[in-house]
Amino acid sequence: MTIEIKVLTLGVASTNAYIVGDTDTQLAVVIDPVDNADLLLQTADEAGWQIKAIMATHGHYDHVLACGALKQQTGAPFAIHEATPQIAGTADDYIEQLFPPIPQPDQLLTDKSTTIEIGNIRLETLFTPGHAPDHVCFFMREQQILFGGDCLFQSSVGRSDLPFGDHETLMQSIFDVIMPLGDSVHVLPGHMQPTTIGRERTTNPFLLHHLRSR
């Protein structure tokens, strides 16, 4: 069994979109279809993969803009946390910019962990609010890879100054949900370069400050 991951950095916020492919079954999952559905589909086609699921870590515009077009072109079901449609339904213009119209989700993720399986790809959903109340991470336990969205970055953490963000909730998600996964876990974030939990545990200034302030 071989799992391969392709990353495309797209859109005005330079967001990382991930295509996870199972080379045995040639099935694939797209995580955070940022922008440019045609390029995402072309990349999967060139690898010989068929996109069978579309998943978003949260509903901010820079993680979901290509969801509708990609779903239309592939017929793949779309999964996002159940809080996203509620937030997107608010009347505030700024909120509507952050949470743009998205296609009707085929699966609403909850606060409880759920495992999504496509071929040999097993993605555990971990509820990690703070950056946004609908934020989840996706964990491939066997490969020790975490798709971290906008939760934990190399030497940084996700913003909590946007509407519905909360810094203490974000820190709780990082320390209670992400850190226990283990230092060897590779974190593939929504922005910037990959890191590991171990690196961030010992060097991340935001995490170290939080520990000192306790």
Task: Give per-residue pLDDT as tens, 32-50.
Answer: 999 999 999 999 999 999 9
Task: Give per-residue pLDDT as tens, 117-133.
Answer: 999 999 999 999 999 99
**Measuring CA to CA, which residue among 1, 31, 212 is closest to residue 124?**
31
Range scoring the smallest mean pLDDT among 132-136, 161-165, 209-213: 209-213
Percent of the chain with pLDDT over 70: 99
Angle at 96 between CA 91 and CA 99, to 5 degrees: 130
Q: List C-alpha distances in Å: 114 to 117, 125, 161.
A: 10, 5, 28
The pairing of beta strand 145-149 with beta strand 136-140: antiparallel
* Beta strands per DSSP E along 32-109: 50-55, 78-81, 107-109
The domain containing residue 185 runs over which residues?
A: 3-213
**Which residues neighbour 140 within 8 Å (Cβ) at sequence distance 6 or greater?**
3, 20, 121, 122, 123, 124, 146, 147
Quote the number of domains for the chain.
Answer: 1
For residue 114, the domain's CATH number is 3.60.15.10
pTM assigned to the model: 0.95
CA–CA distance, 87 with 71 (Å, rounded to integer): 21
Work out the pLDDT band at 90, boundaries 50, 70, 90.
confident
Tokens of 154: 């190399």
- pLDDT over 80 at 214, yes or no: no
CA–CA distance, 85 with 212 (Å, rounded to integer): 37
Q: Whole-number mean pLDDT of the chain?
A: 95
Task: Give per-residue pLDDT as tens, 140-196.
Answer: 999 999 999 999 999 999 999 998 999 999 999 999 999 999 999 999 999 999 999
- Residue 101's Cβ-side half-sphere holds a number of Cα atoms within 13 Å equal to 2
What pLDDT does 91 receive?
Answer: 61
Residue that wins the pLDDT comparison between 100 and 31: 31
What pLDDT does 1 receive?
Answer: 63
CA–CA distance, 75 with 96 (Å, rounded to integer): 26
R_g of the chain computed on alpha carbons: 16
